[in-house]
Amino acid sequence: MAFRSRWTDETVVLQGEDFLSDAEIELSVLSESGSESEPKWEKVSLLQRSAQSLKAVIPAGYAPGLFRCRVSQKQAVSNEVTLNAPDIWWIQGDEGQATARSGGWLRVLGNA
């Protein structure tokens, strides 16, 4: 399942295959510590549903941050993905790829 990160009151698009007519997006706010033992899942209203994608708005009442996201349909639930988590593509330091000396520099490139 592919996805694009979004903030609150913006649209999230999940891309996949064979979504059914009863497919729904469920979200859970991820705590800052990330130590939640049991997520509290909430279904969000879909804007659009097809066999290849699901679109919904992250409720404006949610605080900005990380969200767990999954798809449920019939008795099945997808694997979770995390929305708004950094997606690091490449790290370069003054001593090479992903390596920096004390007092040196480190560049992190990606998307958040």
pLDDT-derived band of residue 95, with 50, 70 and 90 as boundaries?
very high
Would you say residue 36 has pLDDT above 80?
A: no
pLDDT-derived band of residue 71, with 50, 70 and 90 as boundaries?
very high
Mean pLDDT across the chain? 87
Residue 1 DSSP one-character state: -
Strand order in the sheet with 11-15: 2-3, 11-15, 53-57, 46-49
pTM confidence score? 0.73
